[in-house]
Amino acid sequence: MTPDGRRQAIIEATWPLLLEKGPELTTKEIAQAAGVAEGTIFRAFETKHDIIHAAIVAAIQPAEALQSLAELDSTHTLEQRVVAVMQVLTAELDRTKALFVHLAGVGIGHGRPHPPISAKPEPRDRRMQLFDGTTAALAPYAAELTVSADVASKLLNALAFASSFDVNDDPPNPQSMAQLVLHGIAEGDK
């Protein structure tokens, strides 16, 4: 196995253990789950904290959301596409929020600050990946938009993010957010 392959295997094996056991998991448990010797872990990572950090960074990557955006139905109308994009964005935000709530519940993130791992995207890069994926999903509809697909992408992402903080009994859903973006807040002809 290549060094990068070993590192990836260790990261992938750590995540389920982290969710199950929290930060008290041992490097022996990680090594067993990854199918490597415990000493191998420390050739790939300096500390257990570095492994946990790498596993969290990997888990918050929006790969599934990006794939969903790329695979949207090409026969969508603009309205259907905006609803579908909002569904993907809100699901990704819900998933990320759930991960952080779980991690906080098991006591992860309450230790010393850790610098980002340079080989992994920063959270801003993660957000930019979603902007880019959303822009690509809207690009085929550019002629129907009053703004560029890039600006529309930023607006949809901002609306999805803002709605994730809604604490009412009736939070906005992707359909109502799509209607808001496409038709505004005014009553009347739509």
Residues 111-144 pLDDT 10s? 544 444 444 445 557 668 999 999 999 999 999 9
32: three-class secondary structure by DSSP: helix
Say if residue 161's pLDDT is above 70.
yes
Residue 150 binned pLDDT confidence (cut-offs 50, 70, 90): very high
CB atoms near residue 166 (< 10 Å): 10
CA distance between the termini of the chain:
59
Say if residue 74's pLDDT is above 60.
yes
pLDDT computed for residue 11 by the predictor: 93
Say if residue 44's pLDDT is above 70.
yes
Residue 106's Cβ-side half-sphere holds a number of Cα atoms within 13 Å equal to 16
Q: Kindly tell me the sign of the dihedral angle through the C-alpha atoms of 80, 172, 139, 78.
A: positive
Give the closest residue to 18 by CA, choosing from 126, 104, 91, 94.
Answer: 104
Residues 6+ apart with CB under 8 A from 31: 10, 37, 38, 40, 41
Residue 22 binned pLDDT confidence (cut-offs 50, 70, 90): confident
166 token code pair: 């809604």
Q: What distance in Å separates the CA atoms of residue 167 and residue 156, rounded to the nearest whole number?
A: 20
Residue range(s) in the chain whose domain bears CATH number 1.10.10.60? 1-59
CATH 2.60.40.10 fits 1-59, yes or no: no
> Is the full-model pTM beyond 0.85?
no
